[in-house]
Amino acid sequence: MFGAVTANDLILRLKEEGIELAKKQLALPQPIKELGSHVAGIKLHADVEVELKFEVVSENPIEETVVEDASDEDED
C-alpha cells in the first residue's frame, strides 16, 4: 500500500454511500498505513458515540500466477 488512508478519505467514502459526516465527528487518531480491519470512532451527538468498523483493501490486488510443475507431465 502506498500512502495512507486519512479521516478525509473515510468521510469521502462514506459520502459515496449516502452518509454525511463532518470531519470533527470522525475520530481517527492517525492515518492508516496498513491493509486489513480497522476501527474509527464517530460522534453522532454529545452523548452518542459509535464505532465504525471497516476494511482497507488494495485497489490493485496482486494476482497470483499459477506455475505448472514439469514433473506433472505424462512420461511415456
Does residue 64 lie in a domain region? no
CA angle 36, 10, 55 (to 5 degrees): 20
pLDDT tens digits, 39-63: 999 999 889 999 999 999 888 777 7
Summarize the confidence of residues 70-75 as an average pLDDT: 58
**Does residue 11 sit within a domain?**
yes
pLDDT over 70, % of the chain: 83
Domain that holds residue 21: 7-58
Cα separation, 30 vs 40, in Å, equals 10
More confident residue, 71 or 52: 52
Amino acid at 41: G
Distance linking the first and last C-alpha atoms of the chain = 48
Per-residue confidence at 72, pLDDT binned at 50, 70, 90? low
Decide if pLDDT at 9 tops 70: yes
Would 70 be classed as within a structural domain? no
Asked if residue 75 is part of any domain, the answer here is: no
